[in-house]
Amino acid sequence: MKVQKKILEILPEILREVRKDFENDESIREFFQTEDELKKVISVEESVLSEYLKQTLDEELTEDQCITIYRNIGIPYPFTIKFLKSVKKRLILKLKNGNEGEIVIGVDNFIDELMNKISKMYLKKDAHKLRSLKENRFKNYLLFKHHIKWAEKVIDAVEKDNIKDFPIIPASKCEFSKVMEYPEALMVCIDVNLCNHLHQLHNMLHTTSNTFYRFYVNEEFAQAYVMFKDFVDVAQKFFLTLKDLYHITYADLEGSFFNLVEALTYSDKKQIITLIDIKGLKQLNSLYGEKVLNEVLDETEKNLKELVNPENTLIIRGISANFYMLNLNIGEEEYKALLEKINEALPKEYPKGDSLIKLEFIKAGFELDSLIKYTKDELIRIMLHIKEKAKQTEDLTYTVFTQEEKENIRNWINQRYLNISFIEKKFKEKEIEPVFQPIVSVETKQIYGVETLARIKDGKKLISAGLFIDTIYEINKIVEMDIIVLDKIREKMNILEALDLELFINASPRSLENKEYRKCLEEFAKEFGRTNVVIEITEQEAFKNIQILKEFHKNSNLRFAIDDFGTGYTALKMISELAMENIVSVLKIDGEIIKMLEESKEVEAIVEIISNMCKVLEIKSLAEYVENLIISQKLEKLGIDLAQGYFLGKPMKAEELLTLNIDDVFSV
């Protein structure tokens, strides 16, 4: 009581001094459009503080009363706090100069308590801002749902001052990391850089939330308010990033779906794609109209999504088909049981006025061959091809699971889309483009080199070598292709030289036997720097053409990498001989071995033996098919030198290499 009275006694003088300071403070003036506006705000602060002090003279002012006084003044929090701090500073100086030091501590505590109450009031006032984050069309989608519910719990805890219900969850324990492995999340966050950015925002979200909680629970509301503002800022960035990712994904949902499937062909995930189509859709559309058919599709989509497990299944509305479904890592029996449930859940009829629309659905399923890297266009063609087969069955269902069935599909693709005339046309127009896949040092986590891979251009699509290489050999175009690849790499020479990396180039034995190719390669090596060029040849081809390798090395001094080591043609004596003669500098462990590394102790022992052998021979070991962090960590433990795989970087254009940051891969 004594403190409040003394403050009121000298307050008018203090307020005049503070007003003068504020009116001349350029850092404050810039927040107001006019001088009159600044003066008005200062007057409000003065009157509110005076009112607060008068009320506390009669009785202890409750928190609710404090909130009532300050809630509606409409002044930014930083201004209010700065004003009160300036008043406190002036009060303490005045009291010290007046030899009234015995109540200085009381004044300090009194103003601090007021600022603490005001900070809590502003917290409650601003908490509602988080509610607006969920107002978007994607609020019920997978990546939004969990954190919207979590954010609402944060808001409720603050607004109701019920901190025991505050959701304290570290980022590492949040289900978000688990959900990010669901197929919908993989589709939405397919870009590794955006995905890393989202993970960083997620970590910051939980860190700022939990730090805010610690301040709040200790009733340090001024610090809590500052941290809450940081939390809201991070939350807005987090939800805005999610919103943008969903917008980008759903702008071309079918394209996004097949981009995911294409990307996952570089992983170890088993994939099954299902096409679900209404039979005779065009006729139904002409009979009943587009609006009615959209209602049917909306209801069907709702039923399908309620039926499936989002952990391993993704369903989308398509363009080339009514629906596409992706299943990850489920077996044939489980899939067929799911297909039966789907068949039962699909509507058989739909009411239209007094009549019923009879509906039949075509179901076409395809388990992807893990040995083939499919593109979007190829997959759509395959699904439409299988759909035609499904239409010929009694139950309108056709699935492809056996290796023989998959081989038939592959042959069909080759015959229809990669025939001889197609290949010859592309070679004539030199529509071949190299892409480059990063090779990373396991120890330093830095890019060591890149492997050059040939692609045939078909419009904007690049067709992988796995689908056209047999045809190229058959029509004797392999040497021509290898020469074109060298010329195309030369066009990107300025980028590759700037990166200063080892360049791994695939060459066929036929090319190494060809004088024209050897001459082109020799000239290329001089331009690029022969110490930075490594020629890749498979283990089988190397042992069949050992003399060619020796002769070529003798004439060119270029080194070789033995690819697919460990696939069954191993000759350790031959490898040793080539290494001792400095012909082979890199041994690439076959991807089929590395795929099993995560689960097999026997394979782990084999890889360790290969690693030790390479160290003895003083050549580098390189593991292909590195598709996740666990495999990468195992390779480091086993002493493997280099790694290559989709986890570290997919094949990309030379220009994309400039933006690649391997550090981001290991930061999540």
* 170 lies in the same domain as 122: no
Structural domain for 42, as ranges: 2-126
Beta bridge partners of 389: none
Q: Is residue 432 part of a domain?
A: yes
Of 389, 417, 445, the residue at which a domain comes to its end is 417
Q: What is the pLDDT of residue 434?
A: 93
* Calpha distance 181→83 (Å, rounded): 50
**Residues 6 or more apart from 157 whose CB is under 8 A from it?**
163, 164, 165, 166, 167
* 518 lies in the same domain as 577: yes
Top mean-pLDDT range of 94-98, 142-146, 272-276, 523-527: 272-276
Per mean pLDDT, which range of 232-246, 307-321, 459-473 is the poorest?
459-473
Taking alpha carbons only, the member of 614, 562, 607 closest to residue 588 is 562
Give, rounded to a whole angstrom, the gap between the first and last alpha carbons of the chain: 56
Are the beta carbons of 624 and 661 closer than 8 angstroms?
Answer: no
* 463 lies in the same domain as 580: yes
* Residue 443: C-alpha distances to residues 10, 446, 632, 638, 664 (Å): 70, 8, 10, 11, 16
445 burial level (CB within 10 Å; 0-12, 13-18, 19+): middle
Q: Is residue 595 part of a domain?
A: yes
* 103 lies in the same domain as 160: no
Parallel, antiparallel, or unpaired: how do β-strands 461-463 and 447-458 relate? antiparallel
Q: What is the pLDDT of residue 146?
A: 79
Q: Is residue 258 part of a domain?
A: no
pLDDT for residue 495 is more than 60:
yes
Of 104, 126, 148, the residue at which a domain comes to its end is 126
Q: What is the pLDDT of residue 205?
A: 92
The count of domains in the chain is: 4
Any idea what the CATH number is for the domain that residue 447 is in? 3.20.20.450
Q: Is residue 446 part of a domain?
A: yes
Are the beta carbons of 231 and 210 closer than 8 angstroms?
Answer: no
SS3 for 600? coil
Per mean pLDDT, which range of 87-96, 113-122, 131-140, 189-198 is the poorest?
131-140
* Calpha distance 158→284 (Å, rounded): 54
* C-beta atoms surrounding 356 within 10 Å: 11
Q: What is the pLDDT of residue 65?
A: 57
* 604 lies in the same domain as 500: yes
Q: Is residue 463 part of a domain?
A: yes
Q: What is the pLDDT of residue 59?
A: 54
pLDDT for residue 68 is more than 70:
no
* Residue 411: C-alpha distances to residues 406, 407, 414, 415, 569 (Å): 9, 6, 5, 6, 27
Of 126, 154, 173, the residue at which a domain comes to its end is 126
* Calpha distance 585→105 (Å, rounded): 77
* C-beta atoms surrounding 491 within 10 Å: 11
SS3 for 520? helix
Taking alpha carbons only, the member of 661, 656, 654, 660 closest to residue 495 is 654
* 76 lies in the same domain as 166: no
Tell the residue number behind the tokens 């050549």, with chain if given.
619
* 312 lies in the same domain as 461: no
Q: Is residue 581 part of a domain?
A: yes
Q: What is the pLDDT of residue 60?
A: 55
SS (H, E, C) 139-164: CCCHHHHHHHHHHHHHHHHHHCCCHH
Residues 612-650 pLDDT 10s: 999 999 999 999 989 888 999 999 999 999 999 988 988
pLDDT for residue 41 is more than 70:
yes
* C-beta atoms surrounding 646 within 10 Å: 20
- Band the pLDDT of 569: cuts 50, 70, 90: very low
pLDDT for residue 164 is more than 50:
yes
pLDDT for residue 384 is more than 80:
yes
* 402 lies in the same domain as 484: no
Q: What is the pLDDT of residue 540?
A: 67
* 512 lies in the same domain as 394: no
* 24 lies in the same domain as 90: yes
SS3 for 605? helix
Are the beta carbons of 234 and 204 closer than 8 angstroms?
Answer: yes
Average pLDDT over residues 542-571: 75
Q: Is residue 263 part of a domain?
A: no
The Cα angle at residue 112 between residues 111 and 116, in degrees rounded to 5: 115
Beta bridge partners of 372: none
Are the beta carbons of 454 and 506 closer than 8 angstroms?
Answer: yes
DSSP string, 62-115: PHHHHHHHHHTS---HHHHHHHHHHHHHHHHHHHHHTT-GGGHHHHHHHHHHHH
- Band the pLDDT of 326: cuts 50, 70, 90: very high
Q: Where are the alpha helices (DSSP H) in 329-477?
A: 332-345, 376-391, 403-417, 420-428, 465-474
* 110 lies in the same domain as 57: yes
Q: Is residue 617 part of a domain?
A: yes
Q: Is the torsion defined by CA of 32, 35, 37, 42 positive or negative?
A: positive
Taking alpha carbons only, the member of 451, 256, 261 closest to residue 369 is 261
* 511 lies in the same domain as 622: yes
Taking alpha carbons only, the member of 511, 581, 504, 520 closest to residue 541 is 511
pLDDT for residue 69 is more than 60:
no
- Band the pLDDT of 367: cuts 50, 70, 90: very high
Higher pLDDT, 573 or 195: 195
Chain centre to alpha carbon of residue 376: 19
* Calpha distance 328→312 (Å, rounded): 5
The Cα angle at residue 172 between residues 188 and 664, in degrees rounded to 5: 55
* Residue 123: C-alpha distances to residues 77, 129, 165, 664 (Å): 10, 10, 16, 35
Any idea what the CATH number is for the domain that residue 279 is in? 3.30.70.270
* Calpha distance 548→542 (Å, rounded): 9
Biggest distance spanned by C-alpha atoms of the chain:
105
Residues 416-445 pLDDT 10s: 655 677 888 888 999 999 999 999 999 999
pLDDT for residue 57 is more than 60:
no
Q: What is the pLDDT of residue 417?
A: 58
Are the beta carbons of 660 and 187 closer than 8 angstroms?
Answer: no
pLDDT for residue 467 is more than 80:
no
Q: What is the pLDDT of residue 145?
A: 83
* pLDDT over 90 percentage in the chain: 34
Parallel, antiparallel, or unpaired: how do β-strands 447-458 and 432-441 relate? antiparallel
Per mean pLDDT, which range of 172-176, 280-284, 433-437 is the poorest?
280-284
* pLDDT over 70 percentage in the chain: 90
* Calpha distance 213→567 (Å, rounded): 57
Per mean pLDDT, which range of 76-90, 234-248, 397-411, 559-573 is the poorest?
559-573
* Calpha distance 181→170 (Å, rounded): 18
Top mean-pLDDT range of 37-41, 464-468, 598-602: 598-602
pLDDT for residue 361 is more than 60:
yes
Q: What is the pLDDT of residue 8?
A: 76
pLDDT for residue 566 is more than 70:
no
